[in-house]
Structure 1
Amino acid sequence: MDKRWSAHEATPLIGQHTKPRPGEGQVSPMKCSYLPRATRTRVKAFEGDLTMEYIYSADTHPFPETRHRLRDAIMWAGAIFQSRMFTVDGGDALIAPPKPLRLVKFVGDALARFMSPEARKRRKEVDGVLQEIVKREFGDRVEDMYEVQGLAVTPEKQGRGYATALMRTVLDKSDAEGKDSWVITGRSHMFYATLGYAIVGTGQTGGENPMWPHGPVDWIVMHRPAGRVSSS
């Protein structure tokens, strides 16, 4: 399992449905010129999401948002080079692959070391909980499955079907290759259920941390067999 510390999708993926304007809503490969907007999208999409706040709020070292956005940009640049990252409306919605190039991952992990000790502690806690669930539910076969990760839509354009369109890009490929897929989520499990995912494991973090005032943070692992028909 790729030990990415961030949450894997934006919580409010389902909202008031509005029709996209002409020319909007088309999935296309991500470009480096879109990265500034894409990193802003990621920040805005996760505002108030406890799965993200659990780690972000503990990073009290200088310039946390700048460091996090820089880390995302570096990781995603590698995915763009591999033609493995997609967007809608030039960075207003995005989905990224879970396994970056080795060198890019090394640089990204090096930036993560600038996080505060408490943030690194929480990251380790989250990784441990999620790895235990994934190992228990999938075992070694996880290496031959697609992991959905990095799905985010800017709040101004949520509810227009952008997340679903991006997910179709991944699911069409996984179905064509006959591979199952899985995702780690928080409160967005209902969105993934419409695409054929089912909950296979749950976990919590933060419940015993006296420095975290919001109670336990729920994590949900979901699985979708190849070829599962969605309900949307």
Structure 2
Amino acid sequence: MPTLLKFDRPGVGSTTQVGLLRHRHIWRAASAYDRAFRNDPLHVYLTVSAGVTNTPLSIFRKRFLAVVGLLVWMRTQLVLTVDDGATVVTAEVPSKESSGLRIRFLNWFYNTLSHWVRKLTYTNEALKRRAECDTKMKPVIADKLGDRAKDMIYIPLIVTEPESQGRGYSKALLSTVTNIADSRGLASWLFSSNIRNEGFYNKCGFVAAGSFALGDGNPTWDKDPIVVQLMIREPKTA
């Protein structure tokens, strides 16, 4: 299924083609993941401002981990792209069938690898901030989603390389996922790590249902708290 949908590209007399991510797209997608999030408020709080610097080695390590993640997600989730990895979205679509041993192993492998990479390369402050994020995120999910989460489409990642931003690629990918959700009568949810993106998600049908703040009460953080929003989109009926 090389092409799922086509969307008009605003301002350009052509269409945006959305397709499944292929192996040949992975390195570009990993590069997009690295570069797109460098100035993201949550990323800055969790890494750069906590002493995790961008050296050639750390950049390679980050992209390598993204490559491994994409290879795993292509086998365990729905992974879509526009322009051969320029923009990528991942989506966990609920299934009535339980996850097989292979999928559980792949998820365990990637989660374990990510854990040890952080443990061996992050500063103590960065590890502390990561734990803060995890601790504050879980109760928001439990309170706002609860048992409903297992019957919703979860969108863990949407990323666009800097030079491809502003072309409607992210909207095309989100629209593909939400069209799938609508066809199945499913709600969708995601976390937004940048409050400035709220308007974009609102246009795609998502509304903020809850939030948590990072950095408040942390004496090593001298900027405004980072607000992370949990956003939900209810299915549209025909």
TM-score normalised by the shorter chain: which range applies? 0.7 to 0.9
Amino acid at match of 1:49: D
Q: 2:65 is paired with a residue of what secondary structure?
A: helix
Higher helix share: 2
Q: Which stretches of structure 1, 4 residues or more, deviate above 4 A after TM superposition?
A: none
Aligned equivalents of 1:133, 1:204: Cα separation in 2: 11
Q: 2:33 corresponds to which residue?
A: 42
Aligned equivalents of 2:237, 2:186: Cα separation in 1: 11
Q: 2:167 is paired with a residue of what secondary structure?
A: coil
1:143-188 Cα shifts (integer Å, max 9, x gaps):
2211112101112121211001110121122222221111111221
Higher strand share: 2
Gap change, CA 1:83 and 1:198, over 3 Å in 2 = closer
TM-score (norm 2): 0.80
Aligned equivalents of 1:175, 1:118: Cα separation in 2: 42
RMSD: 2.4
Asked if the contact 1:29–1:83 (Cα under 8 Å) also holds between the matched residues in 2, the reply is: no
Residue 95 (str. 1) matches residue 104 (str. 2): no
Q: 1:6 corresponds to which residue?
A: none
Q: 2:156 corresponds to which residue?
A: 149
Residue 76 (str. 1) matches residue 70 (str. 2): yes
Q: Of 19, 28, 37, which aligns to 2:11?
A: 19
Asked if the contact 2:185–2:237 (Cα under 8 Å) also holds between the matched residues in 1, the reply is: no
Q: Of 10, 23, 45, which aligns to 1:32?
A: 23
Aligned equivalents of 1:151, 1:21: Cα separation in 2: 25
TM-score (norm 1): 0.81
What is the percent sequence identity of the aligned residues? 25
Asked if the contact 2:90–2:156 (Cα under 8 Å) also holds between the matched residues in 1, the reply is: yes
Aligned equivalents of 1:77, 1:169: Cα separation in 2: 21
Unaligned stretches of 5+ in structure 1?
Answer: 1-16
Aligned equivalents of 2:206, 2:52: Cα separation in 1: 36
Q: 1:159 corresponds to which residue?
A: 166
Higher CA-based Rg: 2
Q: 1:179 is paired with a residue of what secondary structure?
A: coil
Q: 2:79 corresponds to which residue?
A: 85
Q: 2:113 corresponds to which residue?
A: 107
